[in-house]
Amino acid sequence: MHAGAQNLKPLHVLNGPNLNLLGTREPEIYGRETLKDIEALCRETAQGLGFDLAFEQTNHEGVLVDLIQRAGTDSSAFVLNAGAYTHTSIALHDAIKGVDAPCVEVHLSQPAAREAFREISFVARAAAGSISGFGAYSYVLGVQAAARLAKARAQQD
């Protein structure tokens, strides 16, 4: 157990639309790891840093809003891959802004280097920071960043 994390709430990792298809979905862009593989990576990373982890996926925007609100009360920080809602959803932006727990935006691909419609991220405008382009490893970095934010906040209290 690592000092400082024992009394902290879990980290949450939230996944949006089509991420349930990882493994077979455009593997040349998103890699061959399944969402289950990514969940295992996140759990291992969180555990190594002394945190419990909740891992969720939904294809529905409103459910993602609910999950962000839940992360706001039940997590000490959360990682969010909002999928395509990243580029469209003011509701997600407002949900992230509306909760106290910090958000780390993650993407497997590098949206800024892809189609023009992926250039805007409504999530980035509300998140503490963003990690993209490293495939499944983006999630490892995301969980590490969330743990760091959670511990820094706990020290301020």
Q: How buried is 117 (Cβ within 10 angstroms: 0-12 exposed, 13-18 middle, 19+ buried)? A: exposed
Cβ contacts of residue 85 below 8 Å, gap of 6+? 16, 17, 61, 64, 92
- For ligand DQA, what does the binding mask look like between residues 6 and 45, x meaning CB under 6 A? ------------x---------------------------
- For ligand DQA, what does the binding mask look like between residues 96 and 135, x meaning CB under 6 A? -----------xxx-x------x-----------------
HEC letters along 122-133: CCCCCCCEEEEC
Give the range of 35-43, 77-85, 90-98, 140-148 binding ligand DQA by CB under 6 A: 77-85
Phi-psi region of 18 (alpha: psi -120 to 50; beta: other; left: phi over 0): left
In the complex, minimum distance from the CB of residue 57 to ligand DQA, in angstroms, rounded to a whole number: 11
Residues that bind ligand DQA (CB under 6 A): 18, 81, 83-84, 86, 107-109, 111, 118
